Amino acid sequence: MHKVYSYGRQSISRGDIREVVKVLRSPWLTQGPKVAEFERALCTYTGAKYAVAVANGTAALHLAILALGLSPDKEVITSPLTFVASANCARYAGLSVNFSDIDEGTACMDPVSLSKQIGPRTRAIVPVHFAGRPCRMQEIATLARGAGAYIIEDAAHAIGSDYSGSKVGSCAFSDMTAFSFHPVKTLTTGEGGAVTTNDGHFHEKLVLLRNHGITKDPAKFSGESDGPWYYEMQELGYNYRITDIQAALGLSQLKRVQKFVARRREIVRVYRKELSGLDGCSLLSADDDPHTAYHLFPILVDFSRLTISRKKMFELLEAKGLRLQVHYIPIHLQPYYRALGFGPGMFPRAEAYYQKTISLPLYPALSDGEVKKIAAIVRTLVASHYA
């Protein structure tokens, strides 16, 4: 195999390019009409009342946490098995972070573990829809309500997924949902992200904080306007704006998102078929209803039964053109979080998962033939080193 396959990549069409070029020829590269148009399209797609598009998914999480207005003695709980941004957003706001272990079948936040981690300072929960599979939001929402905690969904993996009859992002069981549009995700704007919410107060906060905390709306001024140039900076915000160039790409991509989701589901079906019954290799539990927009396809290899290490397996896969990734190193094992008092043994299911997992290539451009070839490479490698 001469082609190199990574775990994820974007799908860019001629139409996408056309839409981006149109903006480049227009007067507005940023702060123009495309951003608002993209936000309206995200509302239509997710069913949320408001959407605020921002510079990236991390900014989306950061602004969502800030919009809650929590005091620094409060705590946010997320999954240990996610990208560091899911936890870092709380640290940016000066809040404490805690984790709740995963459900082994889905690698999502486990509500039973969550119920044990919730404490008197817990004011927000950040469930991560791992690989696109929605968390058990009804149970998480019940726990959050009992604790007086807000919910911000980290849906960086999950645009296009459905949960309990509505799209992820509808905020049916949460206060806000954060998306990322990085090129490895299901929909891309290059860099980009968005927060959706049904709450007008959160929406206002998000809009304000995205643009330095500045308002130009006379109805919101606390002082007297000096003239038509007047604006007020009312809070310490950021420049987390997304450009019209990116928004135009997002709009164009959003028109194809159902196709992306459908193709990802087909690829997962082929992998599942090709990799079933392979000793030493297991998969996450199947989503029996087609509700998941799959972002990743992780396999779980029991290296205690293999004669090679994961490092060696990565080398052998790389030699076959598969340049893969591991999702994720548990956050509580990162040096920064260890310095805050976390360490090995605290979230054993996430740690055990990390020891086994490898993400196979999953993106719409893969053909069934390529998926079968990749699966065959994995099968052969695992089978020939199984002890």
Ligand X SMILES: *Cc1c(COP(=O)(O)O)cnc(C)c1O
Q: Which stretch binds ligand X (CB under 6 A): 56-64, 167-175, 212-220, 265-273?
A: 56-64
Q: Provide φ and ψ at 301, rounded to 5°.
A: -100, 130
Quote the least distance from Cβ 106 to ligand X, whole Å: 14
Chain position whose Cβ is nearest to ligand X: 57
Return all residues near 138 (Cβ < 8 A) that are at least 6 apart.
164, 173
- Show the binding pattern over residues 134-173: x = contacts ligand X (CB under 6 A), - = does not: --------------------x-xx----------------
**Among 35, 43, 53, 128, interactor with ligand X by CB under 6 A:** 128
- Both structure tokens of 72: 């620094």
* C-beta separation of 265 from 51 below 8 A: no
288 to 133, 291, 292, 333, 359: CA distances (angstroms): 11, 8, 9, 33, 21
Encode 24-92 in three state secondary structure. HCCCCCECCHHHHHHHHHHHHHHCCCEEEEECCHHHHHHHHHHHCCCCCCCEEEECCCCCCHHHHHHHH
Token duo for residue 355: 């020891």
Residue 81 is a binding residue for ligand X (CB under 6 A)? no
Spatial neighbors of 65 by CB under 8 A, at least 6 apart, are: 76, 89, 90, 92, 93, 95, 124, 152
CB of 182 to ligand X, least distance (A): 4
Q: Is 82 in the site for ligand X (CB under 6 A)?
A: yes
Residue choice 10, 56, 117, 357 for contact with ligand X (CB under 6 A): 56
> At its nearest, how many Å lie between ligand X and the CB of residue 58?
3
Closest to ligand X by CB, 130 or 173: 130
Q: Which stretch, 51-59, 281-289, 316-324, 358-366, contacts ligand X (CB under 6 A)?
A: 51-59
Q: How far is the CB of 86 from ligand X (least distance, A)?
A: 5
Determine which residue in the list 182, 203, 210, 332 makes contact with ligand X, applying CB under 6 A: 182
Residues that bind ligand X (CB under 6 A): 56-58, 82-83, 85-86, 128, 154, 156-157, 180, 182, 193
